[in-house]
Structure 1
């Protein structure tokens, strides 16, 4: 009992830690706004057959609402989709659903000790019950809440893939499966879900049958009271007019084999949309089936191409050239094999156009090279607090060549560029190295590190003697770098082609060039040349060049 109470307390703390810091009035406002929107989507989907939001987006927002319920209304039952109230009928045998495996190891643990295991694609469609009596199709019922659903029998009779009769005329036969939209060589990895489930649901909920029904297939994944042997079920289903399952059911012995089929079906052409695989073992008798109580089959879903998460805060980092961008700090989410907690929105103007604040729900995907990308805002909180924006006039190409507290971000970005591959190429000198030196008060301008001794470096907080020696060695080696690398380190706004063209090897030659001479270089025009001359002859730049010349660097 004590252990149980301790678990409850820890769970309570975990829930509270993830709850928004809202007043009761704010919580009521936000829940009312999202609740009303979910209700509108439910009515459109279940009553009118219209899908106004993708399934993934809807599911994410429903989970968010349920999370708010746990935070602010723990005594209330969790909200569920508002199913159509008309035409409800009981399933002969309840739909149990399947648990989702988080990893290959979790699947291996579940498979341990089980026999007669089979894997199938997890077809992405709409779950239904097919009920036959004396061999004739008696009813087709939507999954609903697992116990009762909508009567779709009349429209189902217009679907050629559903047999109107089966060989078994002994009594009652119940099958459960997935109505799906037939596809031609669909590749899940490349094309995603294509909202196929919504097409099926929409057509089945329309008042009258449409031509779309002829494009539907049926994939049987459960025969609650069928033969115990899975292969016997497949053989009978094939003879009864359900041939699809036999082709897409594979016997497996371990998680490695499941993983192989999962990867193959993710990339190869299939006749339907899928969102993972389902692994089956021998079920209990159908009379004992209850929603949510399934120990004989599980799903291992594909990693989503897009995930939904919440914005925790908005930051405005300032880059080396003074450009201000917007970055969203997110509630961490798993995307493919990456843990994503930040995403760059881009420019200030793009962020302002997107209108994103803390509490908003956003969709994130991976762009080229696995870089997180903002796709869209899927829900905006009702009460909106806009974060303070930096003064855009204070930061520019010539600002923050020297250290001030207000210049922390741009000055640090300049140092990181200076030591990087495009600059002086200092091995092992990274952002954290510069940040330590900045916080120690040892840096006054962009090149002041040249005056630091190894002893001074060793006195920096958190700096070991070995690390101090490494930094000092890299700082000393930088003196041997060619002139053009020092030009890059200074941050001169000079295109690479133009820099490679000039033969200058000291600061004096560089400073003596006229505006006209700069314009004649590749990739240079009037505006670039003018900007370059202003940068080069700015008092702060001239002071840095004088500092370098005094220390014998390309004098």
Structure 2
């Protein structure tokens, strides 16, 4: 259940607030800090009421936890008492026969290896992501189910447990009392944690257990037993008997391990494989445990958790960068508080156009949910919290730029002109080796390039005069630039920005042949509609493009020589 164990809340807040990113206080006035704290605190209280009193999860657990930690950080910055606990319902008055312990978490394999030192028998399990529960059987009959609560007392869930088919109402034991601790989870089919994440399964289960009326969700809840206080000392015997009781998944997903690499293999397999439940990591445990009467509601000494990297992370927007591209469109990149997703750190994310940024209504200080799209490219999933004090963004003026602007350099055109040069010399253009953004920028800044193809007139001597270009490098650059004179007509047009949809329709043609075609001629070509035909005609008859073609012919570039 969301942060229902108050001790773990305090520990998690302390750990998160101790990291460098969290330790930095916003540069706000005390008045703004107070306003942001009040606004966020009110929102968290609304979510708490919905969650604990109505069984409704209005926000994912990850979002909730991050924002509660954010609130605690702001309160520390202002010197206020840390409001580290959610607005909890009454924890219930039903006493656990054995206290629920928490799990100490290791951050990586090095910490796990340190914990493993001196331990001879270890077992590994998936860390099933659900809601903790105590099941109490007397003479083999289920008499009580208790929510975790604060670890010592919880709420009576017996009625709900009786409606869950996965919980046996009777078990084949002879003891007068059997206490089992486990995880109620949402049954899944072929769930891949690495691809799908938590899917808010924990909150769905919690909501079903806390609603007053029974719901259909109860039929789709499973149970994974991870503790049997007073059970058989041998793990193998314990697992066999749990299966005989009607809890077979514990045996199926508990394995003896002898080394760290073996644990890492199981962790990777469960992270990538299809499983019947959501997991958020693994648990490594010893079979030896103290007697249940000695258990406390704090992290156990005989087991640790090693969590998976999250599929999505919440982070804060630190700034917004605008860059004018080759086609005159302005790209927008958000600078983020660094977060780790999978095996990479995400510090920036491209959200597309200015219009897209306006649709998102994102400003500095907002909290956004970041995930990884195909090929591991970071993307914004949604805005999870909007800062109360919203400083407006100074949007750039983009109306004067388009696909046919900035073939010549001006101060206003500097950014788009450089983007055109990068495209021209890149893989989709003339493939000029050894000439990249730094070299193009130096040539422009030295006033040596004012036309998109003016570099054809450069000599080794002029190149050597550019700071940072040695004599040897100047000769190599000059050779590469001159080699472009033999490039094909199609490659030259691609480099100049000819509409890509029509490139496949110009093979074997000359510039004059293209000029003779009408808009209707282009529209008759497969894959070219009215819009693309208009783009082709605009390009072919643009005065700057015509001037470039004339210059290329004068320079005796093969593709434009008659």
Same structural fold, with TM-score higher than 0.5 when normalized by the shorter chain: yes
TM-score class normalised by the smaller sequence: 0.7 to 0.9
CA contact (8 A) 2:128 2:185 kept: yes
Change (3 A) 1:93 1:408: farther
1:19 is aligned to 2:37: no
Match of 2:501 in 1: 495
2:551 maps to which residue? Answer: 547
Is 1:423 paired with 2:429? yes
Distance 2:126 2:390 in 1: 43
The residue that corresponds to 1:300 in the other structure is 306
Cα 1:112–1:409 change in 2 (3 A) is farther
Counterpart check, 1:311 vs 2:317: yes
Of 444-453 and 532-541, the range deviating more from structure 2: 532-541
Q: Indicate how the Cα distance of structure 1 residues 224 and 444 shifts in structure 2: closer, same or farther if over 3 A, else same.
A: farther
Question: Paired residue for 1:217?
Answer: 222
| TM-score normalised by the chain length of structure 2 | 0.86
Matching of residue 29 in structure 1 with residue 35 in structure 2:
yes
| 1:95 alignment counterpart | 100
CA deviation profile, 1:341-385 (whole Å, cap 9, x unmatched)? 222222322222221111112222222222222221111111222
Cα RMSD after superposing both structures: 3.2
Judged with a 3 Å threshold, the aligned counterparts in structure 2 of structure 1 residues 87 and 442 are, in CA distance, closer, same or farther, namely: same
How far off is 1:29 after superposition?
1.6
* Structure 2 stretches lacking a partner, 5+ long: 1-13
Alpha-carbon deviation of 1:251? Answer: 0.5
The equivalent residue for 2:3 is: none
SS of equivalent to 2:413:
helix
Out of 41, 55, 74, which is 1:68 matched to? 74
**Residue in 2 aligned with 1:482?**
488
2:151 is paired with a residue whose SS is coil
Number of positions where the alignment pairs a residue of Structure 1 with one of Structure 2: 543
Q: For residues 175 and 532 of structure 1, do their structure 2 counterparts lie closer, same or farther at Cα, with a shift above 3 Å needed?
A: same
Match of 2:149 among 144, 163, 170: 144
- Cα separation, 2, equivalents of 1:238 and 1:168: 12
Equivalent residue for 1:242, pick from 247, 250, 267: 247
Q: 1:43 offset after TM fit, Å?
A: 0.9
Shifted more, 231-240 versus 479-488: the winner is 231-240
- Tell me which moved more, 39-48 or 170-179: 170-179
Q: 2:235 maps to what in 1?
A: 230
* Contact 1:140–1:156 (Cα < 8 Å) also in 2: yes
Q: SS at the partner of 2:261?
A: helix
Show CA shifts across 1:8-39 (max 9, x none): 9xx98946863322111211222222211111
**Contact 1:130–1:139 under 8 Å retained in 2:** yes
Compared CA separation, residues 168 and 436, structure 1 to 2 (3 A): farther
Unpaired segments ≥5 residues, structure 1 = 1-7
One of 388, 392, 408 as aligned partner of 2:394: 388
| Shift in Å, 1:240 | 4.2
Q: Contact between 1:358 and 1:385, CA under 8 Å: does it hold in 2?
A: yes
> Residues 36-435 of structure 1 correspond to what in structure 2 (within 5 A)?
36-73=42-79, 75-85=80-90, 87-131=92-136, 137=142, 139-164=144-169, 173-282=178-287, 284-285=289-290, 286-435=292-441
Partner of 2:457: 451
Residues 263/225 of structure 1: CA separation in 2 closer, same or farther (3 Å cut): same
- Assess, with a 3 A threshold, how the Cα gap between structure 1 residues 152 and 336 changes in structure 2: closer, same or farther: same
1: CA distance, partners of 2:335 / 2:246: 53
* C-alpha displacement of 1:301: 2.6
